[in-house]
Amino acid sequence: MKSEPETRIVKGKDVSFGITDLQAMENSTSQWDGVRNYKARNYMRDEMKLGDKVLFYHSNCKVPGIAGIATVVREGYPDYTAFDPGHPYYDPKSNQDTPKWFMVDIKLEKKLDRVLPLSELKQYRELREMVLVKQGRLSVQPVRQSEYNFIMALL
């Protein structure tokens, strides 16, 4: 799951969210809201399950890379920020009867001692087919178990 730790203004509000922000949340737990891409939404709504591990990734920053490990603690549910006209992620085409957007809750398990940079990840043959390496645009992406295991061994 990608986040942007540095200032990012949407509709006049800073929506930046990094690993230290998650760490500071009550129980180091937060909803993952504001995803407005259908493919990423489908991963959260349909595929992320309770207990799944998450690579918490910093993007759009000086050193993009994996900053921590989290766990899914609540499976996909409607993203209520889409219904709030005062919220930066408001979507007037979404409604509560047939929600368009979904979110999950995650809990930080470990903040890495260092960000594991994308530039380093791209050097490993074992990760050459990883979605992040091949087409890293999506904010929520699947990770194969073999890729996750390889990355864990790097830590």
111 has which bridge partners?
Answer: 68
Q: Tokens at residue 109, please?
A: 């398990």
The structure's pTM equals 0.94
Architecture of domain 2-146: Roll (3.10)
DSSP string, 66-129: EEEEEEEEEEEEE-GGGG-TTSTT--TT--SSS---EEEEEEEEEEEEEEEEHHHHTT-GGGTT
Over residues 65-109, the pLDDT tens digits come to 999 999 999 999 999 999 999 999 999 999 999 999 999 999 999
The residue behind tokens 């409604």 is 95
pLDDT digits (tens, 9 = 90+) for 9-66: 999 999 999 999 999 999 999 999 999 999 999 999 999 999 999 999 999 999 999 9
Domain boundaries, the chain: 2-146
Residue 55 has a CB neighbour count (10 Å cut-off) of 22
Name the DSSP class of 69: E
CA pair distance 114, 31, nearest whole angstrom: 24
